Amino acid sequence: MNPSTAKLSNGRRWFLLALLLSVAFVLMGRTVYLQWQQGGYLEQQGKKRFETTVELDAHRGVITDRNGEPLAVSAPLDTLVVNPKRLLEHLTPQSSGELARLLDMDERTLHEKLASRISRGEYYLKRQLTPDVSAKIAAIRVPVENKQGRVRWQRLPGTKFLREYNRYYPMAEVTSQLVGFTGVDNNGLAGLELSFNEVLSGTEGEKLVVVSNNRHRDVVEELEMVAEPKDGEDLVLSIDRRVQYLAYRELKAAVQAHEARAASAVLLDAQTGEVLAMVNQPAFNPNNKAQRANAAFHRNRAVTDVFEPGSTVKPFTIAAALEAGVISPRTVVDTSPGRMRVGSNTIRDAVNYGPIDPQTILMKSSNIGASKVALSMSAEQLWKFYDRVGFGVDTESHFPGEADGRTGDYWKWHEAQQAAFSYGYGLSVTALQLARAYSVFANDGVLNPVSLLKLDKAPEGERVMSADVARTVRKMLESVLSDKGTGKAARVKDYRIAGKTGTAHRSGKGGYDEDKFTALFAGIAPASKPRLVLVVVVHDPGRNEWHGGSVAAPVFSKIMAGALRLLNISPDDLSPAQLREAGLDFDQGPAHVAMNGGHL
């Protein structure tokens, strides 16, 4: 090698060495820069790409009746989430058929669903799978070739399960309109599920996880719990499922027997204002998605639908007059000759009852008697009394969509309107409002708020009527169930019942429809020491029966008799022989008020 060639070779060597050292210094400098100057930023970016939070579902609270029996529970279900492209690549004829069968669809439909969403990363193929079906899908194995060319049998690629909860209602249609239902996202859509949704839902949790660096972003590591999920609170209702079922059964039978359009029944604890039963017809099964889709069935008519209450408000007219001092229990009202002209309206009774006292006005349900009593007061006196007992105002039940009802503007009334108001026309109420108002007679003049939740103790109610007037009218209402009264079909063996029938024409276009009625009965038991208040409302009964005494009163009797038995409430109308047979040392049973229409 000549000297010039050797010199060139050494120069190249030093140049390459210098170049390599320069690159090394640059890389070292870059490393130091990234580590010390950009370390925090790069770490943050890495976390953004590979660390994320996933939501943890909170368990929805259980709804039970007052005795702890379940009315709404959450059952665990799974959603099958798939990557359509990956799944289609690995499905075999055998696994395809097995998967389709477990998903309750044919293979063609399965492949069409996957193919139409081939460009999507993830697709919810099937929701609300039971855990046993999910386990069978997870057990399906297909041959998968790895990078080394080896074939292994693995679970279906591109599939995963998300745990969800499905709401189940053990009482089905018996409590459907009261309890309501939830949607697929487990949020309340109707009834108490809606009104107490925040309490029942709880709060979702969060967990920090590391996901894979691929388009599927599978969870590869769980890092830490960000927030623990807080399960929803349980809800204990005031209703008794035994009484609820009894009321539902009897109301449904009555609607079918009378070919009625709709009906409602509300049973209250007279002393606490708790709702022990609330049922409606027609109803629906909240476990059936097809029936849930019909919004017409969702209404809790006992709370949301208003109607004119007819003669069931006459006791309040009598009570208002007694409270105002314009009549006494012995006042005689002349109803002759069975009709009365007030303004341009003619008020009629079924027959000419002649001179009668307030008790007989209620026993015979005299429109003329009630009108004359109402006209003996000012319109303001009458209206304010109705307002005090809860007509036209919210019952404080907190049920979604509750109607207030209407009592009108008394300062605009003329005499005919004031008279009609006294026997239940010109105002509108709900079944729950009417039951609450009757609880004032049962509770010796005290009005309690209504509760759909079980109470630990009786609330402090508001006195809206004197105890003497409440007891006096309650005794008068016992006469309605006498042989001469309109409500004898509402009797309950061995119990004294105080109640009132009602029959109201339904309003339509251009006035009242002569062929459509609302039949009602509202009553209290036992009358000597009230425990229960029950209102039965039947809309548009057919088959030539429409009066409250023949349509609603028998339903009242059956529901009340069963409720008194189920709640173990002692009889108050036993004969001396029955008392002796029971081993009670009485010469005679409790005094039974003479119900013959005489003066009190």
Residue tagged 């660390």 (tokens): 51
On whether the CB atoms of residues 395 and 402 are closer than 8 A, the answer is yes
CA dihedral 347, 349, 352, 353 (to 10 degrees): -110
> CA–CA distance from 446 to each of 432, 435, 441, 479 (Å)?
16, 13, 8, 23
Residue 550 annotated as catalytic: no
- Determine the number of helices (DSSP H) and then strands (DSSP E) in the chain: 21, 23
Return d(Cα 11, Cα 5) in angstroms, integer: 10
Strands 63-64 and 235-236: parallel
Query: In 10 A of CB 260, how many CB atoms?
Result: 25
The total number of residues shown for the chain amounts to: 600
DSSP state of 387: H
C-alpha separations of 23 from 11, 26, 33, 157, 370 in Å: 18, 5, 15, 45, 109
Q: Which of 176, 311, 365, 451 is catalytic?
A: 311
Element (H, E) at 419: helix 415-422
Q: Which residues on adjacent β-strands are paired with residue 521?
A: 501, 536
Q: Is 382 exposed, middle or buried (0-12, 13-18, 19+ CB in 10 A)?
A: buried
Question: Of 421, 468, 414, 406, which Cα lies nearest the Cα of 441?
Answer: 468
Catalytic residue numbers, as ranges: 311
